Amino acid sequence: MCGIVGYIGPQTASPLIVSGLKRLEYRGYDSAGVCIVDGDSLTIHKQAGKVADLERVVDLSAIRGTLGVGHTRWATHGLPNDVNAHPHTDNDDAIAMVHNGIIENYLTIKKKLENAGYTFRSETDSEVLAVFIGMLYKTIGDLERAVQTALQEVEGTFGIVVVSTHDPNLMIAARRGSPLILGVGQDEFVVASDAAAIIAHTRQVVYLQENEMATITRQGFTTKTIANEATHSVVEEIAFELEEIEKGGFEHFMLKEIYEQPVTFHDGFRGRLRVDEGNVRLGGLSKVQDRLRSAQRIIITACGTSWHAALVGEYLIENLARIPVEVEYASEFRYRNPIIYPNDIVIAISQSGETADTLAAIREAKMKGATVLGMVNVVGSSIARETDAGVYLHAGPEIGVASTKAFTSQLCILTQFALFLGRMRDLPAEAGRTLAQGIAEIPDKIRQILDQSDAIKEIAMTFAQAPNVLYLGRGYQFPVALEGALKLKEISYIHAEGYPAAEMKHGPIALIDENMPVVFIATKDEIYDKVISNIEEVRARRGRVIAIASEGDTQIDRVADHVIRIPETQAMLAPILASIPLQLLAYYIAVERGCNVDMPRNLAKSVTVE
């Protein structure tokens, strides 16, 4: 979502803030702004558009001052325009604040402030909080206490950074439901919503906890809860390198991340997979192993691409471990009073570990007594901290908004988790060894698919102007059809839908004509012949068929207009391989259409608000 960068130290603040904001551009945003405390005044510049648009109208590097904040906004309340952009100030223009999240009771607070004579320039909920802090400061005379008092009254989510002319040696940060990280440098501090904005300055960070605030001066920092209880911060080290968030010669982050998948998939099983034993060692689950062994039901909750991975996980776990699995959209699960038993296992899947709906879902599950596990990519994220146990993906930073390597890494972890559960139950060692060997071979098979990128690009050119695309698959490949359609929608803005292939006859077949491309995932498995029959039905209506097929399959050429072949593997591993050409297909179509692949319109990398 929105990006925050704050700086206090000996250096000129504006260049550091702007460079940090640029490292957060991948999160998705529609306006940007910077505020520098310059003596007894605030210098504020903000504008709709990108950080580069702001730089074109004002020389930010010329602004003096060693304390300031910057923000990239993804609009919730109010249009994406100059006025609604952050930072926002109090009525005296002495206190400036940037905010990620949503203040749910802002209308109530706004009415109280208006009745007291305060005015507002924007349509945002964020400005209400800034003005509220300003009002409280007039009464209290202490900025830290004013912020703390205001946050005790607001409802909703926030990650905020506050600076003021009242004290040019003070910066205050606080969070509830929206991540904030404090970078601890040599006599300087950087606050950001993402480690990507910090790593160029320091690797030492403090992850602010839920309902925690930090008071930062030029000499140091202290932390406490919003309720004024002292907390003990732990300084940790950022786990990735600066080079990992650079493009490395690729045209787009998305393409780089697609090509990283042989390595990231291997990193997902390195040190865990035991091929000779036909088993997996997942150290992050050791303390809940007995509960996993006795589990009667597993619920997986996620959003977006992670939800598609969860669907594959459902098939894997039920097949290998014979435990019933339910997959829930986190946004629905959190509100529908779900039936949860104490011996249930609830698994939350999230690349960022900060997805608001998924966080709320696991809190609901914990309140009802379930054991909650996390499968996340970002070390130190909220889900990683709030779950009982979990497994990291080890995919490295994912910058492209459309998830690619994180999806295959999720499938890597889910496959190992299913194998782990199966071997604890009734799965024979030989079956485990066969699957483990198949997992170990996946990275080389991904490389073979990437070698076909030129051929996939040619197919993409043929269909780049299609208004609609249908994706169909059966069994393990049905979730891949959903994911392939999502990738195309996200980055090319072509309408696309994924369905189980057999469901085509229950409605979608009405759409098929000579202008409709239909992508079939038709790998060799026990229902291959059924998929071929579905393809024949599309051909009979002059649909144009793109097939993802297994190597050595010559039958498919008779019924498909275009064939992309993937190496043969076990049916339960085929979704991993089938997803790669669909990622490339979406990527090349989007590039041909001139779309902003890494920052598609209206989307954010991590959805930290409802």
Region for 131 from its dihedrals, namely left if φ exceeds 0, alpha if ψ lies in -120 to 50, beta otherwise: alpha
> Is residue 176 within a helix (H) or strand (E), and if so which, with residue range?
strand 170-176
Strand order, beta sheet including 495-500: 495-500, 468-473, 517-522, 544-550, 562-566
Q: Rounded to the nearest 10 degrees, how much is the dihedral formed by the CA atoms of 59, 60, 64, 65?
A: 170
- Residue 600: cis peptide before it, omega within 30 degrees of 0: no
Q: How many CB atoms lie within 10 A of CB 248?
A: 11
Helices (H), 24-59: 51-57
Exposure letters 345-370 (e unless 16+ CB within 10 A, then b) = bbbbbbbbbbbbbbbbbbebbbeeeb
End-to-end CA distance of the chain: 11
Given a contact cutoff of 8 angstroms between Cβ atoms, the answer to whether 235 and 206 are in contact is yes
Compute and round to an integer the Cα radius of gyration of the chain: 25
Cα 418 to Cα 424: distance, rounded to the nearest angstrom: 10
Structure tokens at 532: 């071929």
22, 50, 256, 605: the active-site residue: 605
196 with 4: CB under 8 angstroms? Answer: no
Give the Cα separation of 439 and 382 in Å (integer): 29
Find the helix or strand (DSSP H, E) in which 72 lies: strand 67-73
Three-state secondary structure readout of 121-173:
CCCCHHHHHHHHHHHHHHHHCCHHHHHHHHHHHCCECEEEEEEECCCCCEEEE
Under 8 Å between Cβ of 180 and 193: yes
Catalytic one of 2, 35, 412, 595: 2
CB contact set of 428 (below 8 Å; sequence gap of 6+) = none
List CB contacts of 337: < 8 A, sequence separation 6 or more.
none
Check if the beta carbon of residue 7 is closer than 8 Å to that of residue 34: no
Half-sphere exposure of 35 (CA within 13 A, CB side): 28
Is 247 marked active-site? no
The backbone torsions φ and ψ at residue 563, rounded to the nearest 5 degrees and listed phi first, read -125, 130
52: exposed, middle or buried (C-beta count within 10 Å: 0-12, 13-18, 19+)? Answer: exposed
Nearest CA among 512, 415, 445 for reference residue 472:
512
Q: What SS3 class is residue 513?
A: coil
In DSSP terms, 389 is beta-bridged to 373
Does the active-site annotation cover 605?
A: yes
- DSSP state letter for 86: S
Q: How far apart are CA 473 and CA 531, in angstroms?
A: 8
Q: Which of 7, 176, 161 is nearest to 98 (CA)?
A: 161
Q: Do 183 and 189 form a contact (C-beta atoms < 8 A)?
A: yes
Give the catalytic positions in this structure: 2, 605
